[in-house]
Amino acid sequence: MFKRACTLILRRGITTLQSKWNKNDSLFRVHPSVSQALAENKPVVALESTIITHGMPYPYNLSTAKDVEAIVRAEGATPATVGVIEGKVHVGLSSDDLEHLARCKTSLKVSRRDLPFVISKGLSGGTTVSATMIAAHQAGIPVFVTGGIGGVHRDGEKSLDISADLTELGRTPIAVVSAGVKSILDIGRTLEFLETHGVCVATYGSSKDFPAFFSPKSGFSSPCQVTNPVEAAKIIASTLSLGLQSGVLLAVPIPEEHAAEGQQIEEAIQAAVIEASAKGITGRDVTPFILQKVNEITEGKSLQANIALIHNNARVGSQIACALSQEIN
């Protein structure tokens, strides 16, 4: 019953996509490696691309994107990096597409609200967590790995700068594997907002502490904890079987050996937040500005930590996708 419900929900996504795909004017392009894996019920891991276009400088963005795909493959799953290329939403990018997004300085940051405009104009861009969740859901991919998600910004109660990633988690049944949220955000309010939107939040590992991206602990607790891929997969399978239509946030702490620079990075974040506000940076530009500033101040240490945690998330996320595939097939 449990398996049947999950499988039906995933199949529905794939069928919807395939029927769109069959039309000549399809807005979706599923890479053959991804459609084959889906057709054979093999584990697939969705990956985002704003991290490539806006999250890291060239050439680290390209090498990280390729390394993450290689890690997913080594764990026995198929990577499906999502991005928008000339007005089409691609689920699974070729190496030429990856290279194009990584090098192109004018690529847009594409969130849910940007999709209609970018598609209608035939533009290209990196998809954020929210837009990637939409594409993954349409394709029938239940597991998605990223570095960090957006959240409620500090002073968000006044500015209402709350990432669309959070509302997407409330409305789209995808499991997002991330290292939590950066301390540039208001972590307490981010967790409150996720609760309001009915998002199941679980820390992965030996502690319940919700991780803060560069630091394994934020001082806030997750409502749930899972200690291995099977437990995580059971949470995802339960969400699908219940037909909840909301997502799951699996928060994987940065490995201890890469968290050593946490304090220095933390101080750089404080300085970058102050500078962003002094320079009047707002809206979609805030996160990329702060990421770049923190990398500058820490002389690349934040970038190294960022890369290490994404690699770790890719490993854990792929193991979860494999366990889920066993659970529901």
Residues forming the active site: 48, 182
Tell me: does residue 141 bind ligand PSU (CB under 6 A).
Answer: no
Q: Choose among Mn ion, ligand PSU, none what residue 35 binds, the Cβ cut-off being 5 to 8 Å by kind.
A: none
Among 90, 182, 293, 301, binds ligand PSU (CB under 6 A): 182
- Backbone dihedral angles phi then psi of residue 125, each to the nearest 5 degrees: -175, 170
Nearer to ligand PSU, 237 or 290 (CB): 290
* Binding-site string for ligand PSU from residue 35 to residue 74, where x marks contact by CB under 6 A and - marks none: -------------x-xx---x-------------------
Span interacting with Mn ion, options 17-25, 81-89, 155-163, 238-246, rule CB under 5 A:
155-163
Among 34, 108, 136, 164, binds ligand PSU (CB under 6 A): 164
- Give the whole-angstrom CA distance, residue 44 versus residue 244: 21
**What are the angstrom distances between the C-alpha of 64 and each of 12, 128, 238?**
32, 16, 32
Among 147, 229, 247, 262, binds ligand PSU (CB under 6 A): 147
**Least Å distance between CB 10 and ligand PSU?**
23
Tell me: does residue 237 bind ligand PSU (CB under 6 A).
Answer: no
Query: 90-93 contacts: CB < 8 A, separation 24 or more?
Result: 90/28, 90/29, 90/30, 90/31, 91/17, 91/28, 91/29, 91/30, 91/31, 91/34, 91/46, 91/135, 91/136, 91/138, 91/139, 91/141, 92/30, 92/31, 92/32, 92/33, 92/34, 93/31, 93/49
Tell me: does residue 186 bind ligand PSU (CB under 6 A).
Answer: no
Residues in contact with ligand PSU, total (CB under 6 A)? 17
Residues 105-134 interacting with ligand PSU (rule: CB under 6 A): 128-129
**Least Å distance between CB 216 and ligand PSU?**
15
Tell me: does residue 148 bind ligand PSU (CB under 6 A).
Answer: yes
* Burial (CB count <10 Å: 0-12, 13-18, 19+), residue 49: buried
Q: Choose among ligand PSU, Mn ion, none what residue 49 binds, the Cβ cut-off being 5 to 8 Å by kind.
A: none
- Give the whole-angstrom CA distance, residue 154 versus residue 144: 26
**What are the angstrom distances between the C-alpha of 46 and each of 68, 92, 132, 159?**
11, 8, 8, 31
Coil, helix or strand at residue 159: helix
Tell me: does residue 327 bind Mn ion (CB under 5 A).
Answer: no
**Least Å distance between CB 167 and ligand PSU?**
10
Contact 124, 117 (CB under 8 A): no
Tell me: does residue 293 bind ligand PSU (CB under 6 A).
Answer: no
Binding site for Mn ion (CB under 5 A): 161
Binding site for ligand PSU (CB under 6 A): 48, 50-51, 55, 128-129, 147-150, 163-165, 182, 213, 284, 287
